[in-house]
């Protein structure tokens, strides 16, 4: 059993500088007790454009035997649950741009509030399940510094998550900016950090006082804005006041390499960007900087991305339209492209499994979900989904029998000890899938 020793943010600077893991000569000053139970986390990884169905489906049988595309997960077979037969019924009930609908309704299980046409121009109709879970987990006294983190590669505005109706949480596609936001402050000295905290507290106190004063003079109809703003300030203030204690086993990533146009990269740059963002995802989970992390690969739209690094010159989106039909070459290319993403996902799983945490590893405490918002030819039924780690029993296939996506979100929430409450469009609500 490996004890969960704590590491203060004071050590973070040395970690950023490349010191790596344990610095035993620095006294642990973390606020969490030794041996406290590791937290439960969620990693949601999305890839665009669905799958070549016959290569994705598991081999029929009692236990899980992966189809060709999922072979990279074979080393984790006893921890993999493949879910079949889950459908995005909320998306299917809506008319509009299918790419927007597929992405914008996937994790909210309700129709879009606004669909302004192709290219990710939509607003979600409600909060996404990952954010609902994140806000509940963030209410714990031992919560991470960030309620949720949303990383991406070339997502082009296709938001998978939403804080609330019409409040999308878009992925940060620039690894440099993401690094600065998530890890930058960990490099501050205690004095610098104290100054920052104090400056923020002054600004928040002013804002709160002014809101309170305005609340007495503005019409009653303005009250919801005033109240919610004050509540949000209080939540941020409470989190800001906490000490940031980094687990002993975590290694902070180094600053990612610069990219000329990280939000609109050339095709050739995609693998390097995926590498850079993977580092941030692993660092964020291993250092417990957030209990909920999402990662989006690609935009889900008709964006002309080509997997040139795999020798595929046709654009991925068009290939997805032609696969699963009468074009065997496109079908093969689609399977190749999907397998590349599965390999990357397997790489993440492997890295999380190599980081000790508590009496196990970070993977043991992180439920990793790989999924796409469409299945074949942009269909919203039988969505491709696998779940790995987090203590979810593996080696099995779960048939959702055409249940709504809500079934999975409720199942994941229950596994993480969270009750989603009223969630999604009521007509598409469903009993939770039994993951645990």
Partner 1 sequence: MACSSELAPPSFDDDDDDPAEIVEGLRAPLRRLSAAQYENTVRAVFGVALPEAVHIVDGLPLDDSSGWFLGNAAPLGEAAVVQYQVTAERIAQAVVVHRGALAACLDDAAITDVCVRAVAEDLAARAWRRPISVPEADALVTAFGEGSVEEGLLRLVTLVLQSPDFLYRVERGEPDLLGGDDVRLTGHEIAARLSYLLWGGPPDAALTADAEAGRLHDPGYRAKVVARLLDDPRAAAGLAAMHRAWLGVGHLSTLVKDRNLFPTFSDRLGAELDDELAGFVDHVLRGRDGTLSSLLTANVTVAKTAVTSWYGDDVVEVVSTPEGTLPEGASLLVLDPTRRAGVLTLMSTMAAHAKTDRSDPVRRGSIVRTRLLCEPLAAPPPDVPVLPEQVAADATLRERLAAHTDDPSCAGCHRLIDPLGFAFEAYDAMGQFRVEDGQGATIDSTGEIVGTDVAGPVAGPVALAAALADSDQVARCYVGQWLRWALGRELEEDDEELLAALEIGFVDNGGHVPTLLAELVASEAFVRRSIE
Contact 35, 303 (CB under 8 A): no
Taking the CB of residue 379, how many other CB atoms lie within 10 A of it?
A: 17
The HSE-up count of residue 193 (CA atoms within 13 Å, CB side) is 18
Tokens of residue 185, six digits:
């402050």
- Look at residues 97, 106, 224, 200 and name the one whose alpha carbon lies nearest to residue 160: 106
Q: Pick the closer one to partner 1 by CB: 32 or 181.
A: 181
Q: Is 267 in the site for partner 1 (CB under 8 A)?
A: no
Q: Is 227 in the site for partner 1 (CB under 8 A)?
A: yes
Q: Is 197 in the site for partner 1 (CB under 8 A)?
A: no
For residues 308-344, one letter each, b for 16 or more C-beta atoms within 10 angstroms of the residue's C-beta and e for the rest, the string is eeeebebbbbebbbbbbeeeeebbebbbbbbbbbbeb
Q: Is 176 in the site for partner 1 (CB under 8 A)?
A: no
SS3 assignment, position 412: helix
**Stretch 62-101: interaction string toward partner 1, x if CB under 8 A:** ------------------------------xxxx--x---
**Which residue in 48, 51, 102, 169 binds partner 1 (CB under 8 A)?**
169
Return d(Cα 150, Cα 42) in angstroms, integer: 12
Q: What is the nearest approach in angstroms of partner 1 to the Cβ of residue 129?
A: 16
Q: What is the nearest approach in angstroms of partner 1 to the Cβ of residue 158?
A: 10
Q: Is 24 in the site for partner 1 (CB under 8 A)?
A: no
The beta-carbon contacts of 309-315 under 8 Å, at least 24 apart in sequence, are 309/267, 309/268, 309/270, 309/271, 310/336, 310/337, 310/340, 312/336, 312/337
Q: Pick the closer one to partner 1 by CB: 136 or 361.
A: 136
Q: Pick the closer one to partner 1 by CB: 229 or 242.
A: 229
SS3 assignment, position 28: coil
**Which residue in 304, 328, 393, 417 binds partner 1 (CB under 8 A)?**
304
Q: Pick the closer one to partner 1 by CB: 169 or 363.
A: 169
Q: What is the nearest approach in angstroms of partner 1 to the Cβ of residue 210?
A: 5
Q: What is the nearest approach in angstroms of partner 1 to the Cβ of residue 146?
A: 9
Q: Would you put residue 382 in left (φ > 0), alpha (ψ -120 to 50) or beta? A: left
Terminal alpha carbon distance of the chain: 23
**Stretch 305-334: interaction string toward partner 1, x if CB under 8 A:** ----------x--x----------------
Binding residues (CB under 8 A) for partner 1: these are 92-95, 98, 114, 116-121, 123, 135, 147, 156-157, 163-170, 181, 195, 199-200, 202-204, 206-207, 210-211, 214, 217-219, 221-222, 224-229, 232-233, 235-236, 264, 299, 301-304, 315, 318
């Amino acid at each position: 059993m490996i004890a969960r020793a704590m590491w203060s943010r004071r050590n973070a600077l040395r970690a950023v500088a490349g010191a790596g893991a344990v610095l035993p000569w620095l006294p642990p000053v973390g606020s969490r007790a030794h041996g406290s139970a590791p937290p439960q986390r969620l990693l949601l990884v999305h890839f665009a454009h669905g799958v070549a169905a016959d290569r994705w489906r598991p081999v029929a049988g009692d236990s899980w035997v992966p189809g060709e595309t999922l072979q990279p997960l074979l080393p984790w077979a006893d921890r993999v649950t493949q879910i079949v037969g889950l459908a995005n019924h909320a998306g299917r009930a809506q008319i509009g741009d299918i790419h927007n609908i597929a992405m914008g309704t996937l994790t909210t299980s309700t129709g879009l509030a606004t669909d302004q046409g192709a290219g990710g121009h939509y607003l979600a109709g409600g909060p996404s399940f990952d954010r609902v879970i994140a806000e509940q987990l963030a209410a714990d006294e031992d919560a991470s510094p960030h309620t949720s983190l949303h990383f991406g590669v070339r997502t082009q505005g296709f938001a998978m998550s939403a804080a609330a109706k019409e409040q999308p949480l878009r992925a940060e596609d620039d690894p440099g900016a993401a690094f600065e936001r998530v890890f930058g402050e960990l490099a501050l000295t205690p004095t610098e950090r104290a100054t920052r905290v104090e400056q923020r507290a002054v600004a928040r106190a002013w804002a709160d006082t002014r809101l309170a004063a305005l609340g007495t003079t503005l019409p009653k109809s303005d009250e919801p804005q005033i109240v919610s703003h004050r509540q949000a300030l209080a939540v941020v203030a409470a989190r800001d006041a906490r000490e940031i204690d980094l687990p002993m086993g975590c290694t902070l990533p180094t600053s990612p390499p610069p990219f000329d146009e990280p939000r609109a990269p050339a095709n050739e740059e995609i693998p390097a960007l995926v590498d850079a963002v993977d580092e941030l995802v692993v660092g964020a989970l291993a250092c417990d900087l957030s209990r909920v992390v999402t990662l989006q690969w690609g935009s889900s739209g008709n964006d002309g991305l080509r997997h040139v690094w795999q020798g595929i010159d046709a654009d991925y989106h068009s290939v997805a339209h032609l696969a699963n039909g009468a074009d065997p070459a496109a079908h093969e290319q689609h399977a190749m492209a999907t397998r590349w993403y599965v390999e990357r996902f397997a790489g993440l799983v492997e890295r999380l499994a190599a980081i000790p945490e508590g009496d196990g590893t970070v993977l043991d405490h992180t439920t990793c979900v790989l999924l796409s918002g469409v299945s074949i030819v942009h269909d919203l039924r039988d969505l491709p989904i696998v779940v790995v780690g987090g203590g979810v029993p593996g080696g099995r296939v779960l048939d959702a029998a055409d249940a709504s996506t809500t079934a999975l979100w409720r199942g994941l929430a229950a596994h993480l000890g969270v009750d989603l409450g009223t969630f999604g469009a009521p007509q598409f609500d469903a009993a939770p899938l039994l993951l645990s």
